[in-house]
Chain A
Amino acid sequence: MAEKQYMTINMGPQHPATHGVLRVVLELDGEVVVKATPHIGHLHRGVEKLAESKTYHQVIPLTDRLDYTNGMGNNLAYVLAVEKLLGIDVPKRAQVLRVIMAELQRIAAHLIWLGTHVLDIGAITPIFYTFREREDVLRIFEEVAGGRLTPTYLRIGGVAKDLPEGIEGKIRDFVESFPKRMEEYETLLTQNVIWLNRTKEIGVISKEDAVNWGVTGPTLRASGVKWDIRKAFPYSSYEDFDFDVPIGSVGDVFDRYVVRLREMEWSNSIVRQAVDRLPKGPVLTEDPRIGLPPKEKVTEDIAALIRQFKIASEGFAPPRGEVYASVESPKGELGFYIVSDGSNHPFRVRIRPPSFLNLGALPKMIEGGLIADVVSAIGSIDIVLGEIDR
């Protein structure tokens, strides 16, 4: 008998199904993957290093560019960490606005995932549907914040500005129409035999393995772990909203699909609840060290002008200490670990990227499976390389 030989195949970094610039080196025994080695870092921009030379406010735009499908959520994780470091409270209206934006963003992020994931597997149609709804969300963001992909809407101590006139009606329209759209996606996929064959029992990871590999988010919940930061460590008044945490049982690609679909429904419900009971009041902290004064005051009041100048140029200096704050991003637990040395620059900003650890578990999911299922598994963990490589 001849000695057994494996074939090595290089997948990526320029491969349409690797969702960015991921490279995976696959060792194959026929069609079976024996070993998979992901290579990352093609998108490394040194965000953590860069943040050390910025003031606390200046770091916010950097966070938008981590997971570029989740700008609002990234802003939220960062400002929560800084607010914890400062020990300040955020006005209730700003908290609820943050919830609305974060959940709309979750829907938009999951819609990108749904469209591209099924496109990888060969279903061309759904992406046109999902991007139609995603466009609605981005239009709302554009009106609210001025930006679509990178809104930079949140500020330390609140949000940049209050909602524009008439936007609540548009959010309501979206919330009302979205369940019907969900039905359309489900009609296309959930009972589609080809879809089921490509996703059932594929890329399985067990509950214990998922926890041990640090997997979080929908990928963890699909394996049957009912764990969501919004429930475990509620932030930004999530404790006021009624929602459930959907879980799967097998931990395969199909379960991840179902978990994300149910999550979108709950996000939609949270947005509806939030718009219904949006409290009145200020949207930025009144702490003069941190919040910028209102623009109309800056033009007529010298004290406000000086304050604006001081905050924008010099920033503020939080006390010495270290904090960790995390949010449930569409991908999993997105955390910021900030160490302050008492100056106006952070000593260290460590980003805990969910996709990084989820991708670390990819070899566990695909080794022993067929090469054709690799694409399906990569799509199902919903990675964004901007966040992995930072």
Chain B
Amino acid sequence: MGDAHLGWQKLKDAFPASLLEVKTFRGEVTILVPKNEILGICKFLHSDPNLQYRMLTDLCALDYHPETPRFEVVYLLYSPRNNERLRLKARVGEGESIASVESIWKAANWLEREVYDLFGIPFENHPDLRRILLWDGYEGHPLRKDYPVEGPDFDKPFVPEV
């Protein structure tokens, strides 16, 4: 399966030193790349005439707390030309930021806002980095593993300020 994956092959030729880890599981290719190269690699995958990963299907994050670096940002790309998916990952530590890919895929606009909202990972050069699902002023980032599932204040009475 792996040899037939065009995106992986091309990436290996273009960025030989950047593929930190390649995994195939159930026919899906996952490639770990350094965080500071994510924008360059995404630009290449999007614009290479033989690849044309025109669609950012999904962008999300994983929290491996208490490991360091703590987060992985996951990009799921799709090439309509080759009918091929590719998953990219980049590790991001707590308090660090990662480059936004909004300039390549507009779809990243809201997806990155969601990761920022629920994980607290900031994206550099994002045009409109605000919380999206939770309200402004919300404290904490619920999808972090150290955030309690029942909420931090579930046993405290809710008394609105008058």
Contact = CB atoms under 8 A, between A and B. Distances in A.
Interface residues of A, number: 41
Q: How large is the interface on B (under 10, 10 to 19, 20 to 34, 35 or more residues)?
A: 20 to 34
27 contacts: A44-B134, A49-B142, A49-B143, A84-B26, A87-B26, A211-B55, A212-B54, A212-B105, A212-B107, A213-B105, A214-B57, A214-B105, A225-B80, A227-B80, A232-B83, A321-B25, A322-B28, A324-B28, A324-B87, A333-B57, A337-B58, A350-B74, A356-B110, A357-B107, A360-B109, A360-B110, A364-B106
A40 B133 contact: yes
Contacts of A213: 105-107
Contacts of B87: 322, 324
B57 A352 contact: yes
A198 interface: no
A265 interface: no
Contacts of A232: 83
B60 interface: yes
Nearest to B58: A352
A350 B72 CA distance: 13
Interface in A151-173: none
A174 B142 CA distance: 45
B11 interface: no
Nearest to A390: B133
A323 interface: yes
Interface of A: 40-41, 44, 46, 48-50, 52-53, 84-85, 87, 209, 211-214, 225, 227, 232-233, 321-324, 326, 333, 335, 337, 339, 347-348, 350, 352, 356-357, 360-361, 364, 389-390
Which among A49, A364, A390 has the highest number of chain B CB atoms within 10 Å? A49
B107 A360 contact: yes
A358 B71 CA distance: 27
Given A321-B25, A322-B87, A350-B74, 10 more contacts: A41-B132, A41-B135, A50-B149, A53-B149, A209-B106, A213-B107, A214-B107, A335-B57, A352-B57, A357-B111
A321 B26 contact: yes
A357 B143 CA distance: 20
Contacts of B105: 212-214
Given A323-B28, A337-B74, A211 B54 contact: yes
Interface in B64-80: 74, 76, 80
Nearest to B87: A324
A211 B80 CA distance: 9
Contacts of B55: 211-212, 214
B129 interface: no
Nearest to A388: B133
A265 B107 CA distance: 31
B60 A350 contact: yes
B131 to A, nearest CB: 8
Given A46-B142, A49-B149, A360-B110, A85 B26 contact: yes
Contact of B134 (A41, A53, A321, A323): A41
Interface string B78-108: 0010010101000000000000000001110
Contacts of A324: 28, 58, 76, 85, 87
A1 B18 CA distance: 57
